[in-house]
Structures are given as structure tokens and as C-alpha cells.
Chain A
């Protein structure tokens, strides 16, 4: 295999970055759409089936088209999808209102900060261990060169992920403070306290894969957790997965933990004063963060790019036909797991009502932290004894 020159490897990394951004910008709108539809069906209604507007003009034409789609069995589910385009247009075309009292610079920087930190986490996440694909021979300049499954599979991957993900808290706190208005301030404070509280059990539950695999590198942890464990590893992994998922829901401010934007108490929480594309950045950041949390859960607990979750792949790999694509790592499995977890987010949202704020704090400090520490002890025992 030829070794790439500096400019070639630069081009490859750029292609990887563009692929990650594309992945994010495909998954996020589809999650938004799925949220409307799945939540709709969970509540026995249809979800979005048309775009706003009347019977006339472009929207009328689109709505009539969607009405016709509704008679076709499979397409009827998708007829709300032009509404996504309308949403994006609306966010971009809306006037940007900066309150006169706001701190202009911080008000501007906060939404960008939360979005950038959400995207940058993907640097340490690898979709498949080793080579993702090899450029075909007709490709100009890069023929025959391999593209690895992650942008940078660094050996302190988990630390990078935890560090950058917690920068997202700043975006929310700064937004709440810079708005200089009562509801955003309260929302920002609540959110900061909540995210900070849940970060402790989150980090401890992520220590379980570290203990079991003895590494901080994302793809190595994923491989160890998928195929390198004994049967005893199942118990701490299952418990750790549940703790991690709970904390992940709280970290991304999703129901049942959506305190910062509990709309019947705080209007819209920290982004009350935001409008237009700045609000859009917060919206994007929330969904990108959901994808990140899902990707980590998929990688560390659900077997990553391997087929079976919770280390079952290692236990049952000998049953699968040798050399088949079910036995090896595959990016499709990883993405499928991410999408399943995103569905779980919506599922939980449609099932569990919102907690009260004191309950949120109690769950974090009195239940999750002792549980996570106990689970860590369990994992250490498994690692030592077995």
C-alpha cells in the first residue's frame, strides 16, 4: 500500500471531516422528522403531514402533492418531509433579534460554541477499526490510498470526548447569562447545575469500559468490549449501559430531564431571547449531542461496529459462519445502533413524564453516583478475577 504524502493525507483528512459533517447533517434532520412522526404515532396521531400555508402558491401545490402521497402505503409515512426544508428556510430567513440589554459578544459566541463543541467530539469516534475504504484506482490524486474509520484514533480518545463534550455546558450557561433576562438566567443556571451533576455518574459509568478494556482509545475499547470479554463482563456492562444512558439523556437536556427548557415554568429556558439562526445553532447542537451520546453508547456498550451488543459477539462469534460479514466489524452496524438509540430518545420522550427539579438532583446525587461507583467496583472485580 502506498504511503500518502503530506498534501494527500491532508486531503484524506479533509474528506473525513466532510464525511462526518455530512453524516451529522443527514442524521440530525432525519431525527427531527422521526421525532415528529414517532411521537405522533406514540400519541395516536399522524405527526407532520403538510407544510404551513394555504391552498394557493407553492405551499398549496406541495400540500396537494402530499395529500396524494397519503394514499400510497409506504410513502404516506414520509409526506411530512418537505416540512423539514421549510423549517430550515424559516430558521435562516428569520430576523436576528439581539435584546438591547444583552451582552452582544457573549450572546453571539454562545450558540456557536455549543455547536462547535458538539461537532468536534466526533474527532475521536471511529466508525470502524482500521480502514474504512480504499480509494478506487480512477480517483484523481488519491488512487489506492486507505481512509481510516475515524478522523483521529488518538490514545486518549475518551478523555478528549469527555473534555470537549463538557465545553457544551459553557454554551448554555453563557447564553443564559448574556441574555440579561430573567427566564434565560434561571434556565441557564438550572441547566448548568443539572449537566454538571450528571457529568459525575456519566464519567464513572464510562470508567467501566476503561477498566474492562484497559485502554482509552475509542476503537480499541469498542473491540475489547465487543469481542474481548468473558461472560462475567455482561453484568457491569449492562448496569453501566443503563446508568450511562440515563446520564446521557440528562446531559443532552432531553425529556424526562429537560429542566432548562421546561416550557411551562421557564418559557424556553436559556434560549428564550434567541431567534433565527442563533436559535437554530442551539437546536442543531442538541441533536448533534444526542448523536454523540448515542455513538458513545453504541461504541462502548452495544458492541460498536460488531453485530451483537454487550460483549455477546465475543461469546457467540464461533457460532457465526467464519469469514462472513456478520462476524467482522462493519460501519453499517455502528450507524444502525446509533439510529436505534436516537429512536430510544424519542421513545422515552413519548413515555416518561418530566421530573421535578429536586427529583432530578436527587436521582443524580443520591442514586446514580453510588450505583455507578458500585458498578465500577464490580467491573474491577471482574477484570481482576476472571
Chain B
């Protein structure tokens, strides 16, 4: 059987798992709703203010940096597989790539983007 067809089968089995367990639990569990039970948790006091508040811009910064570095990893994948065949040419190529990458890396480090306050 083709590799990807069996992956599809595993996905189906994996999706069926939570559905089966969930429905089994639905048959057995109690259901006694009350307003206090369905309120948001906040250390036992009545919740005040909106939960979707502002948060630190650093989280966005991390996301942007992750994008850059992850794309870089994707570029390295084909190079890594062909390493033996590329030999010296591959090493020089990797050196140039690494230089450019580390240049940007040093820049964001010097700007303080990697320091979490």
C-alpha cells in the first residue's frame, strides 16, 4: 500500500480516538449547569475587565524572528541531504549562508531583540 494512503488511515484512526472517548464520556458524565460554575476563573473572585487584554509586543517579535529562522532551516534541508555530493562547494555555500545569517543574528542581538525583560 502506498505510504501516504496508510498515513491517511492513521489520521482517521487518530481522529476517531478522541471522538470515541469523548462520546463515551458524554454517556457517563453528569450535567448540572450553574451560572457560577460557568464563569471564568480568576482566583475565586468575580472576574473583572476583558480577558482579551493587551499583551507584550515581544511575543510578536519572537514570532517574526521564528519565521526568519524557520525559513532558514527549510533552506538548509536540501543542502543537508546533498552534503556528500556537494562536498567543498557545499561547504563554501554553507559558509556564505551562515555568514549572512549570523550577520542578521548579531544585528538583532545588538538591538536587544533577544533579551527578554
The answer to whether A binds B is yes
Q: Which A residues fall within an 8 A CB radius of B?
A: 4, 6, 9-10, 12-14, 16-18, 20-21, 91-101, 111-112, 115-116, 119-120, 122-124, 151-154, 159-160, 179-183, 185-186, 189, 192-193, 196-197, 199-200, 203-204, 207, 210-211, 214-216, 267, 272-273, 276-277, 280-281, 357-358, 361-362, 365-366, 369-370, 373, 376-377, 380-381, 383-384
Contact B14 A116 (CB under 8 A): yes
Does more than half of chain B's interface fall in helix, strand or loop, or is it mixed?
helix
Q: Which residue on B lies nearest to A197, using beta carbons?
A: B62
Contact of A193 among B1, B43, B62, B77 (CB under 8 A): B62
CB-defined contacts of B94 to chain A, threshold 8 Å: 377, 380
Contact of B14 among A119, A186, A384 (CB under 8 A): A119
Contact A272 B41 (CB under 8 A): yes
CB-defined contacts of B22 to chain A, threshold 8 Å: 112, 277
Q: Which residue on B lies nearest to A212, using beta carbons?
A: B83
Contact of B3 among A95, A153, A215 (CB under 8 A): A153
Bound Cα distance from A381 to B94, whole angstroms: 11
CB-defined contacts of A14 to chain B, threshold 8 Å: 9, 13
Q: Which residue on B lies nearest to A13, using beta carbons?
A: B6
Bound Cα distance from A101 to B48, whole angstroms: 13
Can you report 16 A-B residue pairs in the complex whose CB atoms are below 8 A from each other? A13-B10, A17-B9, A20-B10, A96-B25, A119-B13, A120-B7, A153-B3, A159-B77, A179-B51, A193-B58, A196-B62, A199-B70, A267-B43, A357-B116, A376-B76, A380-B80
Q: Mark B92-108, 1 if CB is under 8 A from A, else 0.
A: 00100010011001000
The answer to whether A180 and B10 touch (CB under 8 A), given A96-B25, A207-B80, is: no
Contact A214 B59 (CB under 8 A): no
CB-defined contacts of B111 to chain A, threshold 8 Å: none
Q: Which residue on A lies nearest to B94, using beta carbons?
A: A380
CB-defined contacts of B46 to chain A, threshold 8 Å: none
B residues contacting the other copy or chain, number (CB 8 A): 68
Contact A101 B51 (CB under 8 A): yes
Contact B1 A210 (CB under 8 A): no
Contact B115 A362 (CB under 8 A): yes
Q: Mark B37-79, 1 if CB is under 8 A from A, else 0.
A: 1111111000100011101001100110110011001001100
Contact B98 A111 (CB under 8 A): no
**B81 CB, nearest partner CB in chain A, Å:** 6
The answer to whether A380 and B25 touch (CB under 8 A), given A115-B18, A369-B69, is: no
CB-defined contacts of A99 to chain B, threshold 8 Å: 38-41
**A275 CB, nearest partner CB in chain B, Å:** 10
Contact B114 A192 (CB under 8 A): no
Q: Which residue on B lies nearest to A94, using beta carbons?
A: B29
Contact of A97 among B37, B42, B105 (CB under 8 A): B37
CB-defined contacts of A159 to chain B, threshold 8 Å: 77
Bound Cα distance from A267 to B35, whole angstroms: 22
Contact A196 B66 (CB under 8 A): yes
Contact A383 B1 (CB under 8 A): no
Which residues of B in the span 17-42 have a Cβ within 8 Å of any Cβ on A? 17-19, 21-22, 24-26, 28-32, 35, 37-42
Bound Cα distance from A183 to B44, whole angstroms: 13
CB-defined contacts of B39 to chain A, threshold 8 Å: 99-101
